[in-house]
Amino acid sequence: MNIASFILPKVEVSYLRDHMTIRQGLEKMRRSGYTAIPVIDREDRYVGVISEGDFLWRIIERNSNLEDITMKKLEDMTIRDLIQMGKVKPVCIDTNMEQLLGQAQNQNFVPVIDDRSVFIGIITRSDIIKYFVKKQLEVPAALY
């Protein structure tokens, strides 16, 4: 089965740009309500995923004295300074559902890219699970 029909397109997905300041990223992430969201560059290429924990631990790591953390200081660092590249690997548009399932075990969504590494959207773990449940229900009971 082609995964294209399961993609939530980029225009419907919350994402951050890698050149945004940490302050901008925190504000956008707070508005989105998600705990992790994709990060893309100026050319729309996938960079990675950033989570609330990435913000928290990286800010603390770079500012050992917590009293020194100010919103002004958070404007000096970018999302690219925080992101852990390669933590969440994307899949290509031609990936099959079985491969997708393995990747979705450890994350709430799987980023999807085209052959130029351009971010085109995500597939949620919920949609992947629904696909396999429906597929299982369609198998005739005599085959068990």
Domain positions in the chain are 3-143
Sign of the CA dihedral with 122 first, then 124, 125, and 127 last: negative
pLDDT tens profile 75-122: 778 899 888 777 889 999 988 888 888 888 888 899 999 999 999 999
CATH code for 3-143?
3.10.580.10
Name the percent of the chain lying above pLDDT 90.
Answer: 47
- Residue written as tokens 């989570």? 51
The pLDDT value recorded for residue 136 is 82
The pLDDT value recorded for residue 69 is 63
- What is the average pLDDT value for the chain, to the nearest integer? 86
